[in-house]
Structure 1
Amino acid sequence: MRTRTRKSAVAMSAVAVVLAGCSGPEPTATPENSAVPDASSPASVAGPIPSGLEAFYTQTLEWESCDSYNTDGSELGRAVECAMVTVPLDYADPEGKTIEVAISRTKATGEKIGSVLMNPGGPGSSGLYLAGQAEGTAVADRFDRIGFDPRGIGASEPEVRCLTSDEVDEERREPDVDVSPEGIAATEAEHRDYAAQCVERTGADVLEHVGTREVVRDMDVIRAVLGDEKLTYIGYSYGTRIGTAYAEEFPSNVRAMVLDGALDPDQSPVDEAVAQGAAFQTAFDQFAADCAQTDTCPLGTDPAQAVEQFRSLVDPLIDQPAETTDPRGLSYDDAITGAQQALYSQQLWRLLRAGLNELRDGRGDTLLRLA
C-alpha cells in the first residue's frame, strides 16, 4: 500500500459555525456494495435525490473495523469504524461501472446534531484519520465525525496507481534540480512518462472520473446515506476547493462549512504554486526566528542566515543521500518534503529542529519520517 502524508493536524476552530443549527437523523446500517447498490432496505434519506441515482442515495452502510482500510499507517483508533459507499464511476452513466469510496466514523458522544464530513486536502491525501480527530471538543460531542478517502485514493477502490514502490524510491533519489533548458526538457519528459504510466496502470476510464466534480457528487451521496438533510463540512487547503465546488453544485444542501486555508478557485496552477512557495518561505522565516532563540538551533542564532544554513545541510543530499535506519536513506527531495511538512504546524517545529540537527550529524531518520 502507498504511504500517504497527512498535511496538517486538525484544529477545530470555528466550532460555533459548525454547531449552529440542526441536521438529519441517525444513519442506519447494513448494505450491499458490489455493482449498483441494493436499495431494498434503504437508508433513511433526507433531502432531494437526483433522478436516476436513487439506488446510490438509498443504499445502507455496513460499518466494520477499519483494519483493512488503513493504507497510510495512521492509527485510526478503536472508536473509529469504516464502511464503503458505492457510487457511479461516471455520474452521466449511473447504470454503468461503479466504484467504492471509503469513509470512517466516530459517533457523537452526546446529543447528536448530525454528521460533519472532513477532508485534509492534497489533492491526493487520505482523510480516514480525521474521524479520530477533535476528541473532547464540542464537535465530538454533537457530531458524528466522518473522514473519507476521495475516489482513487487510499482505501477507496479502484486506487489510482502510477508507480511501483521501487519506482517511487528511484524517483525520490533523483531530484529535479537542473533548471537549464536541457534539465527542464528532461523533467517534462519524465512527467509525460509518468502520465503514460498512470493511464497504463490505472486506466483512462478511471482517470477521466477522479476529479473535483466527481468528488463533490460523491460527497452528496455520503451526506444522504448518513441521513443528513444538509451537509456540514470542514475542509483544509485543497479541501476548501472541494467545499466551494460542493456549495456551487448543491447550494440548497449546505448546512455549514469551515474552509481553512482557502484556495482561490480562479487562480491559475502556476500562480497557486508561486503563492504557496511564498507562504512556505514565510513559515520558514518564522521557524528560523523561533529556532534562533534555542540553544540547539541547527540554523544558528541569526535568522537572516537561516536559508544559507539550511542549504548547507540539504544541498549535499543532491549527490549523496544521508544514512537512515530505513535502508532507503534520506534523499534531497525527502529533506525538502519533510521540512515543508513540518512548516504546516508549529507543533512540528520541534521535530524539524531535531531533524536538521540529525542531518548535521549525517543522519536523516527524523526528516524521513516527516516526509
Structure 2
Amino acid sequence: MKKISLLMAIALIFFSCDKKAKENQDNKTSESQTTEEVQKKENASAGKINIEDIPYSNSDLGEFPFFTLPKGLVNQNKPLQKNFDVCFFPVNGIMTPFEGKLYKTNVVSAENEEFSKMYFEKSLEDYLSSIGAVKVYDGEITESEYNRYQKQDPNKGNEGDMGYADEQIKFYVIRTKDKGNIYIQFSANSASGKLNILQEANLKQTIQKITADEIVKDLSEKGKSILYINFEINKADLTEDGSKTINEIFLALKKDPSLNISIEGHTDNTGDAQKNKKLSLDRANSVMNALVSKGINKSKLTAKGFGSEHPLVSNDSEENKAKNRRVELVKVK
C-alpha cells in the first residue's frame, strides 16, 4: 500500500512538472508571437517597406515617367517634374518620404468627354500589373496622419498633390535591376485623378569648391566665371563661406595682375524688380570692396547690378531660380 502511494506521488510530481513545462513553452510562444506582432506594428507605424519581398520586374519599362496616360485623358496643367525631390507615399497608411526623380500631375478627360474614375483606375491597375508592379497599399489616409506629415512635404498643394485626409490612394512598387525602385501612386474622384511617379535615387552631389585655378581657367577660356557666392538672406553681407570664395577670387587675380574684371550681380525674378537690381549692385560692390581690402587695385575692378534682367535659365522652378542668383566675373579687355 505504501509503495502504491509512493508511485502515485511520483506520478503526480512528473505530471505537475510536465504541465508547468508546457505552460512555460506556451508562454514563450505567446511572448514570441506578441513580440512579432509588436514588431510588425512598429514597422507599420514607422512606414517601412521590405523591398526584398518584391520580385524584380523583367519588363521593358522605357524612359521616365515610363508610361502615358490612358487614351482620352490628359494632364490638366503642366506636370510637376523634378530631377531630384521628395514625394510621400502611403506605406501601411503612413505617408513616408522617398527621394529621386519625380513626376506629379492632375488628370482630366479630354475636351467634351466625361471623366470616369473606374476607367482611370482600372487602366492604371491593369497596366501596372502587366509590367510587374506590386500593389503595396490601397486605403485611406487618416486625418491624424495628414496633420502629422503635411508640413514636411515641400510640394504640398502643388500639381498632382495627394495624401489628404480621407483620400483613397492606390500605391504600387516596381523593383528593377537597371532602373532601381519605382514608386507609383494614384487617386481619383468623379471629376479628376492624380498620378505620382518617383524613380528612387540618391542625391548626386554637384557642389564643388571654387578654386583660384578654376576661376583663372574660366576667365581665360570663356571670358567670364560664374560664381555662387553666399550672402546673408536679402542682404549684401558676405557669409563665412562667401568670404572663402572671395579669397579664391583674390588669389586668381594675383596670378594674373593684368586682368581687369567687371563684377556683375544677378538675382532671380522673385519680388520687386527695382529692389532686386539694387540688391544685385550692392552685392557686386561687396565683392569689389572685399577684394580691394585684400590689396587688389580698385582701378582694375568695376561693379554692376542687373537684377533679374539677364537670367541664365527660365525662372520656372526653385532649382532654376537658384541658378540665376549668381555673381559673374567678366574679363574686360
TM-score above 0.5, yes or no? no
The TM-score range, normalised by the shorter chain, is under 0.3
- TM-score computed with the length of structure 1 as normaliser: 0.23
- TM-score computed with the length of structure 2 as normaliser: 0.25
**Is the strand fraction higher in 1 or 2?**
2
Greater relative contact order (CA < 8 Å, ≥ 6 in sequence)? 1
